[in-house]
Amino acid sequence: MAASELRFLPFALLTALAVAACAPSPPEPPAPAPEAVEAPLELAADAHITSELAFEHVTFLAADDMRGRDTPSPELERAADYLGERFAEAGLEPAGEDGTFFQPWPFERSVLVADASVAAYTVDGTERAWRYGEEYFAIPGPPTAVEGTPIYAGGPGDVAAGLPQEAAGGIVVISLPDGLDEGFALSVQAAMIAGASAIVLILDDDTPASDIFQLAAALEAGAAGQFPIPTIGLQHDVGEEMLEHAGLAAVGERDPPEVLDGLTLSLESVFESRVDEARNVVGVMPGSDPALADTYVVLTAHYDHVGVGPADERGDSIYSGADDNASGTAALVQIAAAFGDLPEPPARSVLFLAVSGEEKGLLGSAHFAGSPTVPAEGIVANINFDMVSRNHPDTVYAIGDEYTTIGETVQRVAAERPELGLVAAPDPEPEEQAFLRSDHYSFVEQGVPALMITTWLHDDYHLPSDLPDRIDPDKLARVARLGFYLAHELASDPQPPAWTSAGEELLQNLPF
């Protein structure tokens, strides 16, 4: 509430200044108000970080005609062009390659060739083929064709007790009722040790088609590497349908292992290697202190999302990604504009980096962090904005605040600016491992102190319903202001951010 009232303040202030400028010279010009010294930061924020502008950027990036900004896609390139234009408008200097705002990176992946691939079962001469990226995903591997009568091995508990001899050379079907995280590695390992020729995993019923589509895309991007034998994950319902057609008893009454006589499974996943180009968008506001201008506070947001996939119940198949992460991108663009409007930039340089390929495994940020367009040793901090426009109006999360001194700084900045109406809370669900799940992690891997600003997950996460009309533009603008003040603070402090002892420990034990 306080923030929306504040929005009208700059207009009133500017009008007053304009009137003062045009008025005939007053006999006794009043002494400048003491607040005037503080004003430039707030004036820049008021002029460039507003809920209206935030909503404008989000509606552009998350419009239907942007088709979910998949990496790679023509729409992603349009988004990159838009961001390059905004950076130029903000007065940033190009900090990509060859004097441009862009850093291209090669997106290497294995793509399933649908025409050459088969995933189907036959009962009584009737074949039922599954739809890739909707009913099943496949783990990339060599194009081995497998056909035969499968053996149902039960769940991870059954598999752990050992697979029967018939599994050797056979197609092994395993149920994962508790999700992919529970039992996937164990099941696959057991089936391989038993000498299976192929593995079919029946996923839990919490894995909708939208998840299968995104898992398939992530696997194509190489997250899981190459598998030696054909391995697919089947949507729960179609897997159960197959077991029923095979005459297998209802769930709970089954007694694995059981050879599924009368059922023939045919599997062949043909993958083709492809290399596409995607781009990061990079601009810099050079620092004003010659001694610190070659050090950089890097602000990041990913502008890609997951593209077009299975439709939801409303028939919408465009995964718009308004909160994830048009919102963080809007914050980045607005913060850039505010920095561009300061009478004097802070001592250090501020680098603005909009990355692609995040949804495919943090690929664009990993490329930049590994091959930065500015000297790597100059990068002193990374603040990442990912999903910053939803949930409770007062709460923003500072993910990773315990690992670096940036945690303390963000708490202080939020406390010093009650008008933002934001509490910078610690990680609400550490088990979600958010610290590993966005682009700041690419910087952590390089030893750069980093923090993620987020307003957390919600029911529309990675679904077509993550739409612009569901975001809270007022909150987005307040979070962006917090990011602006935080970045300004870090870029003005002669002391660079440092790791805490918890952070040092984390660096010694990075999971990836």
Sign of the C-alpha dihedral computed for residues 414, 418, 421 and 425 taken in this order: positive
Residue 230 or 364: the one with the smaller Cβ distance to Zn ion is 364
439 binds Zn ion (CB under 5 A): no
Helices (H), 151-308: 156-160, 184-193, 209-220, 236-245
Q: Which two tokens stand for residue 95?
A: 């900090």
Distances (CA, A) of 498 to 290, 406, 415, 444, 487: 22, 8, 21, 12, 15
Binding mask 75-104 for Zn ion (x = CB under 5 A): ------------------------------
The CB-of-385 to Zn ion minimum distance in angstroms stands at 13
Angle at 110 between CA 105 and CA 111, to 5 degrees: 110
Residue 102 or 303: the one with the smaller Cβ distance to Zn ion is 303
Residue 156 or 328: the one with the smaller Cβ distance to Zn ion is 328
Distances (CA, A) of 171 to 202, 290, 347: 13, 66, 63
158 binds Zn ion (CB under 5 A): no
220 binds Zn ion (CB under 5 A): no
Residue 202 or 326: the one with the smaller Cβ distance to Zn ion is 326
Residue 10 or 222: the one with the smaller Cβ distance to Zn ion is 222
Task: Kindly report the number of other CB atoms within 10 A of residue 31's CB atom.
Answer: 7
**Contact between residue 321 and residue 468 where contact means Cβ atoms under 8 Å apart:** no
The window from 92-100, 144-152, 316-324, 334-342 that contacts Zn ion (CB under 5 A) reads 316-324
The CB-of-2 to Zn ion minimum distance in angstroms stands at 30
Residue 245 or 458: the one with the smaller Cβ distance to Zn ion is 458
DSSP letters, 397-427, are EEETTTTBTHHHHHHHHHHH-GGG--EEEPP
The CB-of-391 to Zn ion minimum distance in angstroms stands at 15
Q: Binding-site residue total for Zn ion (CB under 5 A)?
A: 1
CA atoms within 13 A on the CB side of 463: 14
d(CA 84, CA 410): 28
Selected from 324, 401, 474, 493, the binder of Zn ion by CB under 5 A is: 324
The CB-of-306 to Zn ion minimum distance in angstroms stands at 7
Residue 324 or 401: the one with the smaller Cβ distance to Zn ion is 324
Residue 258 or 324: the one with the smaller Cβ distance to Zn ion is 324
SS3 435: helix
SS3 387: coil
DSSP letters, 461-479, are TTSTT--GGGS-HHHHHHH
466 binds Zn ion (CB under 5 A): no
* b/e code 397-422 from CB counts within 10 Å (16+ = b): bbbbbbbbbbbebbbebbeebeebbb
**Contact between residue 390 and residue 58 where contact means Cβ atoms under 8 Å apart:** no
The CB-of-458 to Zn ion minimum distance in angstroms stands at 12
Residue 353 or 491: the one with the smaller Cβ distance to Zn ion is 353
Binding mask 105-124 for Zn ion (x = CB under 5 A): --------------------
Residue 48 or 462: the one with the smaller Cβ distance to Zn ion is 462
323 binds Zn ion (CB under 5 A): no
d(CA 105, CA 108): 9
70 binds Zn ion (CB under 5 A): no
The CB-of-483 to Zn ion minimum distance in angstroms stands at 19
The CB-of-179 to Zn ion minimum distance in angstroms stands at 19
The CB-of-430 to Zn ion minimum distance in angstroms stands at 19
The CB-of-311 to Zn ion minimum distance in angstroms stands at 19
The window from 199-207, 216-224, 322-330, 426-434 that contacts Zn ion (CB under 5 A) reads 322-330
| Site of interaction with Zn ion (CB under 5 A) | 324
